[in-house]
Amino acid sequence: MAMTRDSLVLYLVTDTALCGEQGVLNTVTAAVRGGVSFVQLRDKAATTQARTDLARALKRALVGTGIPLVINDDLAAAVAADIDGVHIGQDDIAPAQARAQLGPAKLVGLSCQTVAQVREADPSVVDYLGLGTVFATATKADHAPAIGLPGLAALAAASPVPTVAIGGLKQAHCAEVLGAGCDGMAVVSAICGQPDPFQAAASLRTTLEVHR
């Protein structure tokens, strides 16, 4: 799938526990109607088969929307479900290996925490960067130290590819994230686990559009 900078405006990272009884599929479906522009399936506790099954269900739900769907760190599930690609961290499979296995038509996203990591990103291999953790967050216990908004701006300025900020971000941060030079904002708890994911996404998207 072709990805543009606009694809990253409101990037949803799923959290199965936070979605609770609403479930990931229902949460994503509602959030996409509300304005989510990109979906990353993340469930570190699930098996590859469970992630594959959920990725297939999400892919069906996203048919016709043009919204990219990637999976966190599980290349086998991404291939089996034939979704748009993967998002990997610094300690996961190397981006070049992911690209070699996925082929040229799929997406590879990479998390970066330092300017050095950003500069090492090869734009012929990586489609976009996830920058952060911006603020400390409870949804990812093993995240790197928070870089704050000044750190985010430094990373965004060094990036050779489109960028999305992640880490403890809420509606109040929309203007600051875009002002730091990122193309969009990734959220987890600001949508997952909210009583009305549609409204949560719609409110975030409206605010982001004001500041673009």
Q: Tens of pLDDT along 55-75?
A: 999 999 999 999 999 999 999
pLDDT in tens, 95-109: 999 999 999 999 999
Cα angle, residue 39 at apex, residues 38 and 42 outer, rounded to 5°: 150
Q: Decide if domain 5-211 falls under CATH 3.20.20.70.
A: yes
How many Å apart are CA 183 and CA 91, to the nearest integer?
Answer: 24
| Reduced 3-state DSSP string for 64-103 | CCCCCEEEECCHHHHHHHCCCEEEECCCCCCHHHHHHHHC
Dump pLDDT digits (tens) for 77-95. 999 999 999 999 999 999 9
Residue 137 has pLDDT above 90, yes or no: no
Mean pLDDT of 28-47: 98
- Give the count of beta carbons closer than 10 Å to the beta carbon of residue 50: 13
